[in-house]
Structure 1
Amino acid sequence: MRRLVVVLLAALVLAAPAPSYAVEQLPVGADADYQLGGVRDVPERVGIVVRDRTARPAGVYDVCYVNGFQTQPNERRFWQQRRHLLLTRGGRPVVDEEWGEWLLDLRTPEKRRALARIVGRWTAGCARKGYEAVEYDNLDSFTRSHGLLERRHAVAYARLLTRRAHRVGLAVAQKNLPGLHGRRVGFDFAIAEECGRYDECGRYAREYGRRVVVVEYRRRDFRATCRQYGDRLAVVLRDRDLSPRGTRSWC
């Protein structure tokens, strides 16, 4: 009887349906462009393009930018209507001073689920437009929270986001927080801004192999990153404003 039960269980496992999502992984050996500041032409050599979720995909391997952990400056009215989901300190929203973005409150499971539903709708919109992947920015927002948020809050929330993205067929990029074992969280590749400048590219490459997109903003960092990683990773030099007519070079 015990042997029969084992055989039946094995048969059930073999007959189990495949996951409901199919993820297309980031291509290796292709150049990438980072177009968050505005849409521009896509040279033939470029096989990966990152654009804001409000933009149309470029028709290559397209990554949809979503600010998953902070608010966009032009969406303040939206978030004021959901103020209970903003991280506050002394009754005022906690701000990422460099970008003027409010931090989202990730401290409780209830708030994380509510935020994941909102961001999940945006992610589903990326999938409907034809994107292959999504980038959730500001995974490291807890480092700017004056101690109110913890790393564990960010990781728990990131798991919710990656699951939702996978359910609609999108691969997910880890953005920020080098050294995180991102695959355990559900990330499939990385987008690393200025990892050459801050000597972080190797940490991303150890986790994701060749599936890393590097964006540098200073030419000297770009040259150094190309020398060290240009034969393995997709490295692009952009101007910091990511303007449609701004700097754009590849290794």
Structure 2
Amino acid sequence: MRRFVGGAAAAATMIALAACTASVPTADPTDFAASLDGATFDYQLGGGYAPAGDVTVVVRDRSDVPAAGLLSICYINAFQTQPDELEDWPSDAVLVDDSGLPVRDPDWPDEALLDISSPTGREIVVATVGEWIRQCAEDGFDAVEFDNLDSFTRADGRISVDDGMEVAASLVSIAHAAGLGAGQKNAAEFAVAFRDQAGFDFAVSEECAAYDECSAYVETYGAGVLNIEYTDNLPRPFAEVCTDADSPPATILRDRALATPADPAYVRESC
């Protein structure tokens, strides 16, 4: 889960700018958004579980298995390290500050930014994440969503938007070659650029209603938008979010931890 943090840095950047096979395959991965028209989905990054009967699309982590019989999307943290995985990356692929320490996401300090500012770093990231993408395809997922595309906004100028766009385009190309749709995660301000320059097919948004970003996604991807709102940051009652003309039809309400139904904290409602 990530939230795009806007502000001066974002403004400056804008200026600078377990089934083995899926049961609902996408014949042309670039048409994946069409598969989401009328979808009801669940966001299960906290652990897979049996979806409700009305669910047609499920998002799970790349370490999980796809939901049998449903359209399945594979979550990949493509531009930052996962918690406790910093040591898995070679030093050339980790962004460091002037003191030589890893640059960390201020909102998620257990994640370090990957260094895509150099050809060597970009090559390592594309090769590593590319293998994850191909594994998602082998596992039976139908699409991937790439998180932290906007890591350049947290890099204090050490990474450029062009660096991010170049890597994103490479990853989208790998996904398409593997027969997978490719989804933009958050970063509403850059939706048009990511679609047109990197080739993304759909979007996964967190809290577009809470941050007044829904129209940016819908105007860019049409029906190809999956939106998650969270119980701890609802701008108004969820029923009102659902009737808002700007809200993507595929909008759900989840608990922040994305708990499983066995946890008392679990919440899932759907528009």
Which range, TM-score by smaller chain?
0.7 to 0.9
Contact in 1 for aligned 2:241/2:247 (Cα 8 Å): no
1:22 alignment partner AA: D
Within the candidate set 214, 227, 238, 2:254 is matched to: 238
TM-score under structure 1 length normalisation: 0.86
Shift of 1:222: 3.6
Contact in 2 for aligned 1:171/1:188 (Cα 8 Å): yes
Distance 1:125 1:145, change over 3 A: same
Q: How far apart are the structure 2 equivalents of 1:84 and 1:35? A: 32
Q: Which residue of 1 aligns with 2:195?
A: 183
Identity %: 41
Does residue 247 (structure 1) correspond to residue 267 (structure 2)? The answer is yes
Contact in 2 for aligned 1:197/1:221 (Cα 8 Å): no
Within the candidate set 24, 28, 35, 1:22 is matched to: 28
Contact in 1 for aligned 2:215/2:246 (Cα 8 Å): no
After TM superposition, the structure 1 = structure 2 runs for residues 1-251 of structure 1, keeping only pairs within 5 Å, are 22-23=28-29, 25=32, 26-59=35-68, 60-79=70-89, 82-89=90-97, 90-99=99-108, 100-180=110-190, 181=192, 182-184=194-196, 185-218=198-231, 219=234, 220=236, 222-229=238-245, 233-245=249-261, 246-251=266-271
Deviates more, 1:204-213 or 1:180-189: 180-189
Residue ranges of structure 2 left out of the alignment (5+ in a row):
1-26
Q: How far apart are the structure 2 equivalents of 1:226 and 1:248? A: 14
Q: How far apart are the structure 2 equivalents of 1:221 and 1:190? A: 24
TM-score under structure 2 length normalisation: 0.80
Which protein is bigger by CA-based radius of gyration? 1
Shift of 1:40: 1.6
Q: How far apart are the structure 2 equivalents of 1:41 and 1:178? A: 31
Is the strand fraction higher in 1 or 2? Answer: 1
1:38 alignment partner AA: G
2:170 alignment partner AA: L
Shift of 1:146: 1.9
SS in 1 for 2:84: helix
Residues paired across the two proteins, number: 229
Shift of 1:152: 1.5
What CA deviation, in whole Å up to 9, does each residue of 1:81-105 have, x standing for no partner?
x011100002000001322200001
Residue ranges of structure 1 left out of the alignment (5+ in a row):
1-20
Distance 1:73 1:22, change over 3 A: same
Distance 1:213 1:110, change over 3 A: same
Q: How far apart are the structure 2 equivalents of 1:223 and 1:145? A: 38
Q: How far apart are the structure 1 equivalents of 2:84 and 2:258? A: 17
SS in 2 for 1:204: helix
Distance 1:40 1:155, change over 3 A: same
Kindly report the root-mean-square deviation, in angstroms, between the aligned alpha carbons of the 2 structures: 1.7
Q: How far apart are the structure 2 equivalents of 1:187 and 1:201? A: 17
Shift of 1:106: 1.0
Contact in 2 for aligned 1:196/1:224 (Cα 8 Å): no
